C-alpha cells in the first residue's frame, strides 16, 4: 500500500500537473470504486483544480466550489499520467480523469477491488475522511510521545494505526523499527524515554529519507514505480536476506495477509518472535533464538 513517502511524491507530481487546470470529466469504469453518491462526481466536471493534498494515505484533489475528489489506493492501486488518453477498455482501469492538459487514471492489479474514490463537499467533508492520526513529520517529540502512549499497543500496531499516526503502513513501520533497533512487539506504554526518542528520530529520518529517495527516482517525471518492496530497504520484504547492520538473516511474523520483517539480533536481543501459525504447529520445537533457528536449518 502506498504510504506517506509514496503518496507525498504522487501529490507533488499532481500539483505540478493539474493545479490551475480544468477537470473536463471523470469516467468511472468500475462500479466498486465510487463510494459516495452526494455530491455526484459529475459536479466536479468543468471545474478548475485549486489544490492537491495528502490526507493520511489518501490523495485529495480540490476543485472550484469546494469539492474534493479523494482517492484511496489501498494495496494495489496505482496512478498514471500521460498527455494522451489511455486505452479505456483495459480491465484494470478503474477511473480516468480528463484534464485540459492530459489524463490521469487509476489502475488496480489483481481481482479484488479495494481502491476507493469519494467526492466530498468542503473542508468539513474532507475531514470526515481523516482518521485523525498525528502527522509524524510535523510533530514535536512531546506530541509524538503523547500519541504513542495514548494506547497500549505493540509498536508495529501503534505505528500503523491511522488514528495514532498518519500515513505509516506495513512497509515503513518495519524500516522505522529496524532503524530504531526496537522490537515490533514491544508495548508502546512500556518504552523508556530514551527508546521513545530513538523511535521519534527513526520515524522522521526514515520518512524523510524515503520521500527524498522516491522524489529523486521520479526525477520530475510522474512516478510509475510505486511499490511496497524495494531492494534498498533494510528489512521489509527481505526475509532470510542479511541485515545490512549486522548480517544476521532477516526474520518475519506472518498474520493474515500481512507480515512483519525484523532483525532478531538488532531488534529483539536475538530472540525469535513467534509466528502464530508455525509456532503453534511446532509447539516446544519452536526455536527461541536466531542461533537455535540457524542450528536447526543445518541439521
* pLDDT reported for residue 1: 82
pLDDT bracket for residue 245 (50, 70, 90)? very high
* pLDDT reported for residue 112: 79
* pLDDT reported for residue 166: 98
Cβ within 8 Å of residue 281, ≥6 positions away: none
Query: If one looks up domain 141-292 in CATH, what number appears?
Result: 1.10.8.50
* pLDDT reported for residue 217: 95
63-90 pLDDT tens trace: 999 999 999 999 999 999 999 999 988 7
Least confident segment among 19-28, 89-98, 159-168, 269-278: 269-278
Mean pLDDT of 133-148: 98
What's the burial of 279, exposed, middle or buried (CB within 10 Å: 0-12/13-18/19+)?
A: middle
Cβ within 8 Å of residue 140, ≥6 positions away: none
Does the pLDDT at position 299 exceed 60? no
DSSP state, residue 189? G
- SS3 string, 29-65, reads CCCCCECCCCCCHHHHCCEEEEEEEEECCEEEEEEHH
Q: Number of helices (H) and strands (E) in the chain: give both, helices first.
A: 9, 10
Cβ within 8 Å of residue 216, ≥6 positions away: none
Q: Do the domains 4-127 and 141-292 sit in the same CATH topology, yes or no?
A: no
* Among 165, 174, 128, residue whose Cα is nearest residue 146: 165
122: left (phi over 0), alpha (psi -120 to 50) or beta: left
* pLDDT reported for residue 293: 44
* pLDDT reported for residue 228: 85
Cβ within 8 Å of residue 100, ≥6 positions away: 21, 22, 24
Separation CA 295–CA 241 (nearest Å)? 17
- Taking CB atoms within 8 Å and a gap of at least 24, the contacts of 214-222 are 214/5, 214/6, 214/9, 215/9, 215/12, 218/9, 218/13, 221/13, 222/13, 222/17, 222/79, 222/80, 222/81
90-129 pLDDT tens trace: 778 999 999 999 999 999 987 778 899 999 999 999 999 9
The answer as to CATH 2.60.40.10 being correct for domain 4-127 is no
**Rounded to two decimals, what is the model's pTM?**
0.91
For the chain, the average pLDDT equals 91
If you write DSSP's letter for every residue of 133-157 in order, what string do you get?
A: -B-TTT--HHHHHHHHTTS--BHHH
What ranges do the domains of the chain cover? Answer: 4-127, 141-292
pLDDT bracket for residue 256 (50, 70, 90)? low
Amino acid at each position: 500500500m502506498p504510504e506517506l513517502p509514496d503518496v507525498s511524491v504522487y501529490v507533488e507530481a499532481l500539483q505540478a500537473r493539474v493545479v490551475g487546470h480544468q477537470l473536463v470529466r471523470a469516467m468511472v469504469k468500475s462500479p466498486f470504486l465510487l463510494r459516495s453518491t452526494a455530491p455526484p462526481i459529475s459536479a466536479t466536471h468543468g471545474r478548475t483544480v485549486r489544490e492537491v493534498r495528502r490526507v493520511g494515505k489518501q490523495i485529495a484533489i480540490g476543485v472550484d466550489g469546494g469539492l474534493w475528489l479523494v482517492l484511496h489506493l489501498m494495496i494495489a492501486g496505482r496512478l498514471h499520467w500521460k498527455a494522451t488518453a489511455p486505452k479505456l477498455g483495459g480491465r484494470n482501469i478503474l477511473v480516468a480523469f480528463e484534464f485540459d492538459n492530459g489524463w490521469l487514471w487509476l489502475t488496480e492489479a489483481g481481482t479484488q477491488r479495494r481502491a476507493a474514490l469519494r467526492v466530498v463537499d468542503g473542508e468539513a467533508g474532507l475531514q470526515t475522511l481523516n482518521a485523525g492520526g498525528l502527522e509524524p513529520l510535523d510533530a514535536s517529540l512531546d506530541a509524538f510521545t503523547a500519541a504513542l502512549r495514548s494506547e497500549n499497543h505493540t509498536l508495529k500496531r501503534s505505528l500503523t494505526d491511522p488514528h495514532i499516526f498518519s500515513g505509516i503502513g506495513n512497509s515503513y513501520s518495519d524500516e522505522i523499527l529496524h532503524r530504531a533497533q526496537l522490537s515490533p512487539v514491544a508495548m508502546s506504554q512500556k518504552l523508556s524515554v530514551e527508546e521513545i526518542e530513538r523511535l521519534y528520530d527513526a520515524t522522521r529520518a526514515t520518512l524523510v529519507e524515503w520521500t527524498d529517495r522516491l522524489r529523486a527516482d521520479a526525477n520530475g517525471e510522474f512516478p510509475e514505480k510505486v511499490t511496497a518492496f524495494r531492494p534498498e530497504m533494510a528489512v521489509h520484504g527481505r526475509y532470510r536476506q542479511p541485515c545490512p547492520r549486522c548480517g544476521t538473516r532477516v526474520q518475519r511474523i506472518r498474520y493474515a495477509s500481512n507480515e512483519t520483517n525484523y532483525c532478531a539480533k538488532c531488534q529483539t536481543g536475538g530472540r525469535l518472535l513467534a509466528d502464530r501459525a508455525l509456532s503453534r504447529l511446532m509447539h516446544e520445537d519452536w526455536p527461541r533464538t536466531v542461533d537455535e533457528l540457524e542450528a536447526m536449518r543445518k541439521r
